[in-house]
C-alpha cells in the first residue's frame, strides 16, 4: 500500500523582495550570487575573441553577435510589444542595402555609415510597417513574412541596386579587432539598454499594449503610436545588424533578405527562452556555431536549425534561460502530499 | 488578348488547385499548415521516385504518392503539431519549420537541377481562338473545376466536411455535438496534404520538379486564401481568378520576374486594407484593433 504522492515544492531564495526586480542584499556572497551570471556573460563575450584560435572563428563570433542583435530585437518585439514579426530579414536587408549604398556610392566610411543606415533603415521599416500595425497575431506574422520576400523579388525583377549580383566592394572595418569589438560592444550595449527600457514606464505601456490593448486605449494612450515606437526600436536593432553584416562580408545583395535572417533569430529566441532578452543571445551562441560547423554540408544547416526550432516550439517552449533562471533562483524539493 | 484570357484562366485554375488544400486546412479548419508547399514538392518527388526509379505504372504511382503525402501530413499533425494546437503563432512557426526542413532536406539530398520531370497526361495541343493550348492545360482546368465542385459538396453535405467547418466556427459547440476535434484536425491535415499532392501531380508535369516551387506554392496559396477571405470557398475561387489574371497580365507587360511580386503584393495590400479578405466574414473584429 504505497499510494503516497509527492510533488515538487519551489521556494524563492531569500534575497527577492516582493517583485522580480527588487532584491535585498545582506552580504557580499549574495551580491556575487546576483552579479556573477551577468559578469560571466559580459566578461565571457568580451574575452571570446582572444580565446578562439583562428581568424575564421573570430569572424563567426562577429556573426553570432549580429544574429544576437537581431534575435534580441525579435524577442523585444514579440514578448514586450506583442507583435510577432517573422521578417527579421526585412530589417537586415534594408539596413544592409542602405549602408552598402552609402559606402559604395557616397564613400561614407563604415563606422559612419552604420549608424546612419540603422536610423534611416529604422525609419523606412517603421513607415512601411505602419499600415500593418492594426493587424494582430497571425496576420501581422504573415505580412511581415512577406515583406522581405517582396523586396527580394522586386530587386531581382527590377534589377536595381545591383540586381542579383548585389553590391560589390563594400569597405570593411579598419581592422578585424575593431570589427569584433564594435559588434560585441554594440550588442552588449543594446542588450543592456533594452533590459533597462522594458522596466521603465515606457516598457510598462508597451507590455500593456501586448497584454490588453483595449485597456491601454481606454486609458487614453494611442496604441498605434506605441506599437510604432516598438517597431522602430526593433527595426533599429535589426537595421544596425544588417548594416554591420555588409561591412563584415564586404558585400550586400539579395541574400540579405534570405530566410536565414528570419528563421535563425526566432529559433535562437525559442531555444534561449522568449521574454528574457538574454536568452536569444545564448540561443545564438548555440545555434550559429552549429550552423557554421554544418556549412560544408550546404543546406543541411537550415534543416538542422529548422528541426531544432520545431522541436523546441513543440516540446520545450520554455527555453533554456527561463529554465535556468528558475533553477538558479529557486530551491526545489520533494514534499509529501 | 485571347492569350490573356486563355492563359489567365489556366493560371487561375492552377492557383485555385494549389490553394485548395491550404484553404481546406487553414481556412476551413483553422489549422495552420505552412508546410503546404513542402508537401507539394514531396508528392512531386515521391511520384518521380515511384514512376522513374521504381518503374511503376504512372497512374498507380500518382495515386500511391498522393496517399503517402496524405499520410505524411496526418503524421506531421498527429506527432508534432497537435501539441501546439490552438496557439496559432506556434502552429505557424512549427509547421513552417517542418516545411523548411523538408524542402532544404531535399536540396541537401541532391534533388536539385532540371533533371526531375514528369510526363504530361496527354500529348498534343489544340488551337483555341488562335491561341495554342496543350491538352494537359485543358485537363488542368477540368480537374480544377471538378475538385472545387467536389470540395464544395464535401464541406457542405458530408458528415466529415460539416464537422471540419463546425470545428472552425465554434470548437466547444462542436465538441458537445460529439465531434472529436483533435481527430478532425488530423483528418483535415491529411486531406489537405492529399490535395496539395493532387495539385502537384496535376501541375508539375508542366515544368520541372524543383525545391523552389515549394516556397512559391506556399506564397501563392496564402495569397489566394488571404485575398479571398479565410473560410470562404467562393472567395478562394474568385481570388484565384483575380490573382491569376493579374499575374498573367503583369507577366505579359512587365516580365516573368514580376509573377511572384503580384502574389506578395496581393497578400500585403489585402491584409492592410481588409484583413478578412473579399468574402471572409470570420474573425474580422478579432484580428483588427
DSSP label at residue A210: H
B282 touches chain A (CB under 8 A): no
Q: How far apart are CA B24 and CA B147, in angstroms?
A: 12
- Overall number of domains in chain B: 1
Q: Which three cell numbers stand for residue A202?
A: 515606457
pLDDT value of residue B174: 82
pLDDT > 80? residue B113: no
The residues in A 132-161 lying below 8 A from B, measured between CB atoms, are 132, 134-139, 141-143, 146-147, 149-150, 153-154, 156-157
- Domain membership of residue B123 (yes or no) is no
pLDDT > 80? residue B285: no
Classify burial at A331, counting beta carbons within 10 Å of its beta carbon; exposed 0-12, middle 13-18, buried 19 or more.
Answer: exposed
B81 touches chain A (CB under 8 A): yes
Nearest to A205 by CA among A230, A234, A172, A239: A230
Mean per-residue pLDDT, A192-206: 90
Classify burial at A6, counting beta carbons within 10 Å of its beta carbon; exposed 0-12, middle 13-18, buried 19 or more.
Answer: exposed
- Domain membership of residue B151 (yes or no) is yes
| Range in A62-66, B63-67, B86-90 with the lowest mean pLDDT | B86-90
Indicate the pTM of the whole model: 0.87
Q: How far apart are CA A267 and CA A271, in angstroms?
A: 6
- Domain membership of residue A157 (yes or no) is yes
- Domain membership of residue B197 (yes or no) is yes
SS3 state of residue B132: strand
Which chain A residues are within 8 Å of B108, Cβ to Cβ? Answer: 297-300, 303
Query: Distance (Å) from the C-alpha of residue A30 to the closest C-alpha of chain B?
Result: 38
Q: How far apart are CA A98 and CA B282, in angstroms?
A: 40
pLDDT > 90? residue A90: yes
pLDDT value of residue B177: 86
Q: How far apart are CA A40 and CA A101, in angstroms?
A: 38
Mean per-residue pLDDT, A295-322: 84
> Are B21 and B195 contacting, i.e. CB atoms less than 8 angstroms apart?
yes
Ramachandran sector of residue A108 (left: φ over 0; alpha: ψ -120 to 50; beta: rest): beta
Could you read off the pLDDT of A93-105 as tens digits, one per residue? 999 999 999 998 8
| CATH code for position A15 | 1.10.3470
What share of chain A has pLDDT > 70, as a percent?
Answer: 96
Mean per-residue pLDDT, B235-260: 86
pLDDT band per the 50, 70, 90 thresholds, residue B289:
very low
B105 touches chain A (CB under 8 A): yes
> Are B232 and B277 contacting, i.e. CB atoms less than 8 angstroms apart?
yes
Residue predicted with more confidence, B2 or A61? A61
pLDDT > 90? residue A187: yes
pLDDT value of residue A186: 93
pLDDT band per the 50, 70, 90 thresholds, residue A118:
very high
**Which residues lie across from A252 on neighbouring strands?**
A167
- Domain membership of residue A198 (yes or no) is yes
**Which residues lie across from A117 on neighbouring strands?**
none
Q: Among all chains, which residue has been given the C-alpha cell 563584415?
A: A248
Q: How far apart are CA B3 and CA B129, in angstroms?
A: 9
Mean per-residue pLDDT, A124-145: 87
CA of A129: how far to CAs of A90, A224, A232, B34, B244, in Å?
10, 11, 10, 23, 26
- Overall number of domains in chain A: 1
Mean per-residue pLDDT, A299-324: 84
Could you read off the pLDDT of A147-177 as tens digits, one per residue? 988 888 888 888 888 777 788 888 888 888 8
Query: Distance (Å) from the C-alpha of residue A138 to the closest C-alpha of chain B?
Result: 6
pLDDT value of residue B72: 93
Residue predicted with more confidence, B1 or B21? B21
Average confidence score pLDDT of chain A: 86
pLDDT band per the 50, 70, 90 thresholds, residue A87:
confident
- Chain-chain contact of B275 with A139 (C-beta, under 8 angstroms): yes
In which element (H, E) is residue B134 found?
A: strand B131-134
Mean per-residue pLDDT, A294-323: 84
pLDDT > 90? residue A125: yes
Could you read off the pLDDT of B194-229 as tens digits, one per residue? 989 998 888 888 878 888 888 888 888 888 888 888
Average confidence score pLDDT of chain B: 83
CB neighbour list of residue A113: distance below 8 Å, 6 or more residues apart: A99, A102, A103, A243, A247
Could you read off the pLDDT of B23-50 as tens digits, one per residue? 888 766 677 788 888 999 898 888 888 8
- Chain-chain contact of B97 with A306 (C-beta, under 8 angstroms): yes
- Domain membership of residue A1 (yes or no) is no
Nearest to A170 by CA among A120, A80, A99: A99
Mean per-residue pLDDT, A263-274: 88
pLDDT value of residue A77: 92
**Which residues lie across from B126 on neighbouring strands?**
B133
- Domain membership of residue A130 (yes or no) is yes
pLDDT value of residue B282: 56
Q: Supply the range of the domain harboring residue B193.
A: 2-111+133-210
pLDDT value of residue A228: 93
**Which residues lie across from A135 on neighbouring strands?**
B288
pLDDT > 80? residue B144: yes
- Write out the DSSP string of B2-15: HHHHHHHHHHHHHH
Q: Supply the range of the domain harboring residue A168.
A: 6-336
Of A84, A299, A314, the CB nearest to B84: A314
pLDDT value of residue A94: 93
pLDDT value of residue B259: 81
pLDDT value of residue A70: 92
pLDDT value of residue B27: 66
How many Cα atoms sit within 13 Å of A71 on the Cβ side? Answer: 35
Amino acid at each position: 500500500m504505497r499510494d503516497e504522492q509527492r510533488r515538487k515544492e519551489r521556494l524563492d531564495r531569500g534575497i527577492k523582495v516582493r517583485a522580480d526586480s527588487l532584491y535585498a542584499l545582506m552580504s557580499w556572497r549574495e551580491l556575487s550570487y546576483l552579479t556573477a551570471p551577468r559578469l560571466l556573460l559580459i566578461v565571457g563575450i568580451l574575452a571570446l575573441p582572444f580565446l578562439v584560435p583562428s581568424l575564421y572563428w573570430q569572424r563567426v563570433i562577429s556573426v553570432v553577435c549580429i544574429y544576437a542583435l537581431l534575435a534580441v530585437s525579435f524577442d523585444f518585439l514579440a514578448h514586450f510589444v506583442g507583435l510577432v514579426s517573422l521578417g527579421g530579414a526585412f530589417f537586415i536587408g534594408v539596413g544592409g542595402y542602405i549602408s552598402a549604398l552609402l559606402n559604395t556610392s557616397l564613400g561614407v566610411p563604415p563606422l559612419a555609415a552604420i549608424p546612419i543606415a540603422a536610423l534611416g533603415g529604422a525609419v523606412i521599416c517603421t513607415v512601411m510597417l505602419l499600415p500593418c500595425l492594426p493587424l494582430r497575431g497571425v496576420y501581422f506574422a504573415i505580412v511581415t513574412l512577406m515583406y522581405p520576400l517582396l523586396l527580394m523579388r522586386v530587386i531581382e525583377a527590377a534589377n536595381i541596386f545591383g540586381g542579383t549580383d548585389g553590391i560589390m566592394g563594400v569597405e570593411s572595418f579598419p581592422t578585424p579587432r575593431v570589427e569584433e569589438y564594435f559588434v560585441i560592444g554594440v550588442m552588449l550595449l543594446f542588450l543592456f539598454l533594452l533590459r533597462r527600457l522594458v522596466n521603465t514606464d515606457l516598457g510598462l505601456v508597451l507590455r500593456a499594449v501586448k497584454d490588453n490593448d483595449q485597456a491601454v486605449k481606454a486609458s487614453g494612450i494611442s496604441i498605434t503610436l506605441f506599437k510604432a515606437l516598438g517597431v522602430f526600436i526593433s527595426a533599429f536593432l535589426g537595421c544596425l545588424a544588417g548594416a554591420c553584416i555588409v561591412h563584415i562580408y564586404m558585400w550586400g545583395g539579395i541574400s540579405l533578405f534570405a530566410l536565414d535572417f528570419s528563421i535563425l533569430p526566432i529559433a535562437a529566441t525559442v531555444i534561449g527562452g522568449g521574454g528574457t532578452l538574454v536568452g536569444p543571445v545564448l540561443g545564438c551562441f548555440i545555434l550559429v556555431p552549429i550552423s557554421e560547423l554544418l556549412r560544408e554540408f550546404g543546406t543541411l544547416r537550415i534543416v538542422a536549425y529548422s528541426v531544432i526550432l520545431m522541436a523546441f516550439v513543440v516540446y520545450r517552449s520554455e527555453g533554456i534561460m527561463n529554465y535556468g533562471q528558475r533553477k538558479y533562483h529557486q530551491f526545489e524539493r520533494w514534499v509529501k502530499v | 488578348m485571347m492569350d490573356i484570357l486563355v492563359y489567365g484562366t489556366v493560371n487561375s485554375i492552377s492557383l485555385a488547385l494549389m490553394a485548395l488544400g491550404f484553404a481546406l486546412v487553414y481556412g476551413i479548419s483553422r489549422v495552420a499548415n505552412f508546410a503546404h508547399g513542402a508537401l507539394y514538392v514531396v508528392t512531386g518527388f515521391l511520384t518521380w521516385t515511384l514512376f522513374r526509379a521504381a518503374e511503376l505504372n504512372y497512374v498507380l504511382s500518382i495515386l500511391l504518392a498522393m496517399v503517402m503525402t496524405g499520410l505524411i501530413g496526418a503524421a506531421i499533425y498527429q506527432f508534432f503539431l497537435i501539441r501546439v494546437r490552438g496557439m496559432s503563432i506556434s502552429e505557424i512557426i512549427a509547421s513552417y519549420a517542418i516545411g523548411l526542413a523538408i524542402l532544404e532536406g531535399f536540396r541537401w539530398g541532391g534533388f536539385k537541377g532540371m533533371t526531375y520531370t514528369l510526363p504530361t497526361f496527354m500529348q498534343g495541343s489544340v488551337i483555341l481562338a488562335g491561341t495554342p493550348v496543350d491538352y494537359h492545360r485543358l485537363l488542368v482546368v477540368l480537374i480544377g473545376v471538378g475538385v472545387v465542385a467536389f470540395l464544395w459538396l464535401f464541406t457542405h453535405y458530408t458528415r466529415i466536411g460539416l464537422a471540419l467547418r463546425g470545428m472552425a466556427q465554434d470548437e466547444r459547440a462542436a465538441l458537445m455535438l460529439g465531434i472529436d476535434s483533435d481527430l478532425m484536425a488530423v483528418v483535415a491535415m491529411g486531406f489537405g496534404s492529399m490535395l496539395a499532392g493532387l495539385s502537384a501531380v496535376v501541375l508539375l508535369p508542366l515544368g520541372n520538379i524543383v525545391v523552389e516551387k515549394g516556397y512559391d506554392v506556399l506564397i501563392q496559396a496564402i495569397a489566394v486564401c488571404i485575398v479571398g477571405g479565410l473560410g470562404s470557398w467562393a472567395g478562394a475561387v474568385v481570388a484565384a481568378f483575380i490573382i491569376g489574371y493579374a499575374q498573367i497580365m503583369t507577366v505579359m507587360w512587365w516580365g516573368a520576374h514580376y509573377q511572384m511580386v503580384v502574389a506578395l503584393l496581393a497578400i500585403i495590400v489585402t491584409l492592410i486594407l481588409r484583413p478578412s479578405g473579399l468574402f471572409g466574414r470570420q474573425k474580422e473584429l478579432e484580428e483588427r484593433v
